[in-house]
């Protein structure tokens, strides 16, 4: 599948809708590119964005970065989140929270990467309610 995956699109839409009043805006989902720093796009070098499995949320508000980072980590198991990059920090399922030394410090956006299973879920009103429930504890 080329383009944004449906589960990621549902997550993206819920988060942007919830935080738009605080200045958060979409940074997009799909971007056909290799991992930063690499030039050849082949399956093993493709970024999660190239697979439609990552979303970026634009904000330079450090307090909002911290809130999103903690909220996304707390719900990672239920929402298929495998990676969050924010403000010189990177969290992954495998390594937890560490200092991020990538090309971009991610101070202008929060990056969220998803598992293939979650990314492939159908973008339905029920999925959006489920995402809302886990992120904010409301139905």
Q: What tens digit of pLDDT does each residue of 86-139 get?
A: 999 999 999 999 999 888 899 999 999 999 999 999 999 999 999 999 999 865
Three-state DSSP at 28 gives strand
Contact by Cβ (8 Å): 59, 106: no
Query: How far is it, in rounded angstroms, from Cα 111 to Cα 32?
Result: 16
Three-state DSSP at 63 gives helix
pLDDT of 48 strictly over 90: no
Contact by Cβ (8 Å): 123, 3: no
Query: How far is it, in rounded angstroms, from Cα 83 to Cα 72?
Result: 9
Contact by Cβ (8 Å): 129, 14: no
Q: What tens digit of pLDDT does each residue of 11-34 get?
A: 999 999 999 999 999 999 966 554
Q: Which two tokens stand for residue 51?
A: 């697979």
Total-model pTM: 0.88
Query: How far is it, in rounded angstroms, from Cα 112 to Cα 73?
Result: 10
């Amino acid at each position: 599948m080329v383009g944004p995956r449906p589960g990621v699109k549902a997550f993206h839409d819920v988060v942007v809708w919830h935080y738009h009043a605080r200045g958060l805006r979409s940074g997009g989902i799909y971007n056909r590119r290799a991992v930063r720093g690499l030039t050849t796009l082949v399956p093993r070098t493709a970024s999660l964005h190239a697979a439609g499995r990552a979303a970026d949320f634009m904000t330079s508000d450090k307090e909002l970065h911290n809130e999103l980072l903690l909220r996304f980590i707390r719900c990672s198991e239920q929402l298929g989140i495998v990676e969050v990059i924010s403000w010189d920090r990177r969290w992954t399922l495998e390594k937890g929270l560490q200092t991020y030394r990538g090309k971009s410090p991610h101070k202008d956006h929060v990056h969220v990467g998803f598992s293939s299973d979650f990314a492939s879920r159908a973008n339905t009103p029920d999925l959006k309610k489920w995402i809302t429930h886990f992120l904010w504890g409301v139905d």
